[in-house]
A and B are shown apart, each in its own frame.
Chain A
Amino acid sequence: MDYGSLGFQALAAIIKIAFMILGFLMPLASILTWMERRQSSMMQDRLGPNRANIPLPWKINGKQANWRMWGITHFMADALKFLFKEDYVPSKAHKFLFMWAPIMAMAPALIVAAIIPFGPPLCWGELLQKGAACNQPVPLQIARLDIGLLFYFAIASLSVYGATLAGWASHNKWSMMGGLRASSQMMSYEVTMGMAVLGSFLVFGTLEPGAIADAQTHILSLGSYHTSWGIFTQPLGFILFLTAAIAETKRTPFDIPEGEPEIIGYFVEYSGLRFGMFFLGEFLEIVTSSAIMITLFFGGWHWGTWLDNTLQAHLPNVFFVVVMFALWTMKVFAFCAFQLLIRWSLPRFRSDQLMRLGWQRLLPISIANVVATALIILWAQA
């Protein structure tokens, strides 16, 4: 099939969407639900869930053989449990919004994945060719949008509707308060988030995530600063973005909307699979925000010129793509684990402390970061 045709591009996009959702986002987010419990228990000198297993049809030493895998199948057991639980809807709830709120909370996290570059371009037609030359590169990114990260902010800010509507539609004062807190928190931290990324825009000169990732070919280059990883050109921007991103996922230390000890949260009335969607949506947000941070600050799928070029020169294109995708997945996975580490290490903020941190500390610092970055770039270009 001709590469340039619309049919080919549409087919490629559908395949990429299916791969990203079914092959990457959903499995990783599901495993994270188990990993969070297992990792936190290891951090706290416990063992954590290691019991769930799949029984195998034979016996070892008279005992039923099973496939245990350190309890990794717990996420399947959880999903199965959610499926068979009662789908409770409060009698005074707004039925329509109550049913749609979980979807509105989970869908943005999936949509955001459209702009994430997850590997080097695939050379269609020359899959087994070694080297960088490529006639028909298929970018491993579902949508190459010029607005790029603006799309990310637009869609990510939609997920606040899920939380707020869930809180309002439940007809429960606790979930209402949770929804209000969610909306105030997410709006506040989106401002910081946008400001934190502005510095990266100034450095890379583009909003398109694929182009930003491709710009970071060196891990650290002192000569041409804009080709090194974003963490080195925008260290402060990274910390600000990380803080805001954790606040966006509504997890400890910023779990004000959930706040188990005071209000149970905007999903207090939810049960079964609908609660499961909120739950999974939270982990999807971790994955996507990790991937965005990798793209902006850790070079996307790049691992420095030496490794990239060596692998590209010695591996057929298709294997090169697979290897780089696996390495990129490792990066994302490590970042998810880091977010879990933060969630299980830090105490939570109070609501007013959270607002003060967001508006009085992070926002001025992020604006100062943008100004300083602009001045430095001006000086470097002059």
Chain B
Amino acid sequence: MAVGVKVVNRPGSLAQQAYLPAIAEGLGVTFRHFVKNFFGNVSGMRKKTDIVTIEYPEETKKYPPRNRGLHRLMLRDDGQVRCVACMMCPTVCPAHCITIVPEEAPDGRIEKRPKIFEIDELRCVVCGLCAEACPCDAIRMDTLDHAKPTTRRADGILDKEELMSRGTTSTAVQGGVGAFWREKVEGVPQTPPAGDVFPAGPPTGPVPVTREPGKGT
């Protein structure tokens, strides 16, 4: 005997075998949902219904606060870019989407700053390693936004100004106060730059951050 036949007995009451009570129960469930959703929707009380649809162009779903999204470059207290062009993020980036061309910082307090800072959002795999690698809290991915679709590939590359436009000051200790307190380094001005943002001399602790109302941290 090649094929065995296993007879499955399905005992059940007459009500079960007649299907009708179960059918009535099932219809009741779907009908209740229909009535609730239909009348809630017609009377404009969408909140009271069970409908989970998000009508996309008019409504958007908010990303959760830990979401990794579009990059931004954070700012120093004086509005300059926080990045010191240490090349950590392009090194760690698995997608090679970050391009940094460093240049010497003119004011002498910082050795380097990025002359060009570009992120190709089309190549970015949104892994978040760049933000994790950054030693001075200069690059973040917490904009709760995603890369916008573009019609040209070049438009997917964000430059420094674009990235800084979403930037804010950070509560992290602001490093890179400058070389003026070190031994004399050739070619670097030895006097602190004018201005009351930075005290002369070595940093004594966290620099008090002046926040403007309406801006985040």
B63 interface residue (CB < 8 Å to A): no
Contacts of A47 in B (CB 8 A): 41, 51, 53, 55
Which of B24-32, B69-77, B98-106, B135-143 contacts its partner?
A: B24-32
| Interface contact A39-B27, CB-CB below 8 Å | no
A345 interface residue (CB < 8 Å to B): yes
A326 interface residue (CB < 8 Å to B): no
**CB within 8 Å of B: which residues of A?**
39, 42-47, 239, 341-342, 344-346
Contacts of B55 in A (CB 8 A): 47
| Interface contact B51-A45, CB-CB below 8 Å | yes
Contacts of B49 in A (CB 8 A): 45
| Interface contact B52-A345, CB-CB below 8 Å | no
Q: Which of B38-75 contact A (CB under 8 A)?
A: 38, 41, 49-53, 55
| Interface contact B51-A43, CB-CB below 8 Å | no
Contacts of B38 in A (CB 8 A): 42
Closest CB-CB distance, B39 to chain A, in whole Å?
Answer: 10
B33 interface residue (CB < 8 Å to A): yes
Chain B, residue nearest A39 (CB) = B34
Number of interface residues of B (CB under 8 A): 18
B170 interface residue (CB < 8 Å to A): no
**CB within 8 Å of A: which residues of B?**
20, 23, 26-27, 29-31, 33-34, 37-38, 41, 49-53, 55
| Interface contact B51-A344, CB-CB below 8 Å | no
Chain A, residue nearest B31 (CB) = A341
| Interface contact B27-A42, CB-CB below 8 Å | no
Closest CB-CB distance, A38 to chain B, in whole Å?
Answer: 9
Contacts of B51 in A (CB 8 A): 42, 45-47
Chain A, residue nearest B22 (CB) = A346
Known contacts: A43-B34, A44-B33. The answer to whether A346 contacts B26 by CB under 8 A is yes
* Of the residues A39, A45, A342, A344, contact of B52 by C-beta under 8 Å: A45
| Interface contact B52-A46, CB-CB below 8 Å | yes
The complex places the Cα of A44 from the Cα of B33 at a distance, in Å, of 7
The complex places the Cα of A43 from the Cα of B26 at a distance, in Å, of 11
Closest CB-CB distance, A72 to chain B, in whole Å?
Answer: 13
Contacts of B41 in A (CB 8 A): 42, 47
The complex places the Cα of A44 from the Cα of B38 at a distance, in Å, of 11
| Interface contact A42-B34, CB-CB below 8 Å | yes
Closest CB-CB distance, B27 to chain A, in whole Å?
Answer: 5
* Of the residues A43, A239, A342, A346, contact of B33 by C-beta under 8 Å: A43
